Amino acid sequence: MKLEKLVIASNNGHKIEEISSILSGSEMKIFSLKDFPEFPDPEETGNTLEENSLIKAKAVSEKFNMPAIADDTGLFVNALNGEPGVYSARYSGENATYESNCQKLLDELKDKPDRSAEFRSVICLYINEPEKYFFEGIVKGSIINEKRGEKGFGYDPLFLPLHSEKTFAELTGEEKNKISHRSLALQKLKQFFD
């Protein structure tokens, strides 16, 4: 499928950079919500990653009258029955920060021997109704006992991908982009465009 332009339904600089770098090379003109500062991030009111990615992509596509993509990501921790999952952004409350979320995760996992977890990303490409497509990427790993690394964002300093000695926050952006949940979903989107 060939599109002339696309808007990334996000204000998050880290995500915009990751997404733009993976989609670079195509002739598509790529915008993000940073180009439309008056438009607030749509609220994530769904109960699944699919619902939330659709809510965001649809709202932005309809507002700017062009195809939009939105991702919704969650960290699913087995010993916590899949928490924080869809609620990863607000895990430690309404005024949650990356720092407070990581701290809450460490507190909840104290004394839990099973540290296995996975990041799941769903990307929705919304063109119009009913033309919408979903792409999923999953990366398995574990939650370590204390933060390591300064790069990335969110839960990156606590997440050790399977077969890696470095946390996501110790990898360069390029290294993370090769294996991350979002990049796996984006590779599928890219193949769809190609």
- Determine which helix (DSSP H) or strand (DSSP E) holds 14, and give its type and residue range: helix 13-23
Which of 6, 154, 184, 186 binds ligand IMP (CB under 6 A)? It is 154
The answer to whether residue 170 forms part of the interface with ligand IMP (CB under 6 A) is no
Strand pairing report for 84-85 and 68-77: antiparallel
Question: Is the CB of 6 or the CB of 117 nearer to ligand IMP?
Answer: 117
User: Cα–Cα distance between 8 and 19 in angstroms, integer?
Assistant: 8
15-54 binders of ligand IMP (CB under 6 A): 44
Letters for 80-99 (x = contact with ligand IMP by CB under 6 A, - = none) are: --------xx--------x-
- Stretch touching ligand IMP by CB under 6 A, among 22-30, 59-67, 69-77, 139-147: 69-77
User: Cα–Cα distance between 7 and 58 in angstroms, integer?
Assistant: 11
Q: Break the chain down into helix, strand, coil percent, rounded to 5.
A: 40, 25, 35
Catalytic residues: 72
Find out whether 120 and 74 touch, Cβ atoms under 8 Å.
Answer: yes
Question: Is the CB of 98 or the CB of 133 nearer to ligand IMP?
Answer: 98
Question: Is the CB of 30 or the CB of 89 nearer to ligand IMP?
Answer: 89
Q: What is the DSSP string of 81-108?
A: TT-EETTGGGTT-TT--HHHHHHHHHHH
Residue 151 Cβ vs ligand IMP, minimum distance, rounded to whole Å = 10
The answer to whether residue 180 forms part of the interface with ligand IMP (CB under 6 A) is yes
The answer to whether residue 118 forms part of the interface with ligand IMP (CB under 6 A) is no
Find out whether 64 and 7 touch, Cβ atoms under 8 Å.
Answer: yes
| Contacting residues toward ligand IMP, per CB under 6 A | 44, 71-73, 88-89, 98, 101, 152-156, 168, 180, 182
